[in-house]
Amino acid sequence: MNSEKTVMRLKTIEGHIKGVTRMVENGEYCIDVIRQIQAVQAALNKVSSNILNDHLNSCVITAVQGEDPKERERVLKEIAEIYEQAAKV
């Protein structure tokens, strides 16, 4: 995972969240606030997707190609749990 890039994206998102907070404090138009929240959610989804992609291409591949069936089962179960959790959101 390119942690520097990820940290920079998260700091940018953090700035956007502070902007949304200011919008609410200033009584900005609700639809404008919602649009900004949706933009933040999309940005977080992109970061999550990038991290998952890195994980699939490193840890999961290593486990699947490895000799330990319990480790394969564990990483595949983690992926299934991530998708289940995402469906609840």
The pLDDT tens digits for 3-20 are 999 999 999 999 999 999
Q: How many domains does the chain have?
A: 1
**Residue 40 is which amino acid?**
V
What pTM was estimated for this model as a whole? 0.82
Kindly write down the DSSP assignment for every residue of 13-51, as one continuous string: HHHHHHHHHHHHHTT--HHHHHHHHHHHHHHHHHHHHHH
Please give the average per-residue pLDDT across 62-68, as a whole number: 90
Q: Return the CATH number at 78.
A: 1.20.58.1000
Residue 1 has pLDDT above 80, yes or no: no
Structure tokens at 4: 């520097």
Distance (Å, rounded) from C-alpha 6 to C-alpha 34? 24
Let me know if 33 is exposed, middle or buried by CB neighbors in 10 A (0-12, 13-18, 19+). middle
Structural domain of residue 46, as residue ranges?
3-88
What was the pLDDT predicted at 88? 83
Mention every residue, 6+ apart, whose C-beta is less than 8 A from residue 79. 56, 60
